């Protein structure tokens, strides 16, 4: 199963805090 997030955020200033292939858990930061 998969969860896809699509969202609008500021062009300047929004960054993902992720690496491709990274394992994540519920509540862990994806971006600021």
Partner 1 sequence: SQARSKGRGVRWFLVPLGILTGVGAVSYARDERAVVGPWHVHVISSLPLRAVSRLFGSFNSLTLPESLRKPGYHLYAWIFGCNLEEMEDPDLTHYPNLGEFFYRSLKPGARPMDDTSELVSPADGKVLHFGVVTHGQVEQVKGVTYELQALLGGSSNVPQPTGKEDNGDHDQQMAQSSHSANITSEEEFARINGIDYSLDRLIGEEEGHASAYGPRPGNQMYFCVIYLAPGDYHRFHSPVNWIVQTRRHFSGDLFSVSPWMAGLLKDLFVLNERVALLGRWKHGMFSMVPVGATNVGSIVIRFDKDLRTNIKQAYRHGQCTEVRYDQASWLSKGVVVPKGDEMGGFKLG
Binding footprint of partner 1 on the chain (CB under 8 A): 1-12, 14, 16-32
CB of 20 to partner 1, least distance (A): 6
How far apart (Å, rounded) are the C-alpha atoms in residues 4 and 6?
Answer: 7
CB of 13 to partner 1, least distance (A): 10
Nearest to 3 by CA among 18, 19, 24: 24
CB of 17 to partner 1, least distance (A): 7
Nearest to 32 by CA among 19, 13, 12: 13
């Amino acid at each position: 199963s998969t969860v896809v997030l699509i969202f609008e955020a500021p062009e300047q200033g929004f960054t993902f805090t992720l690496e491709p292939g990274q394992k994540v858990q519920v509540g862990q930061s994806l971006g600021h």
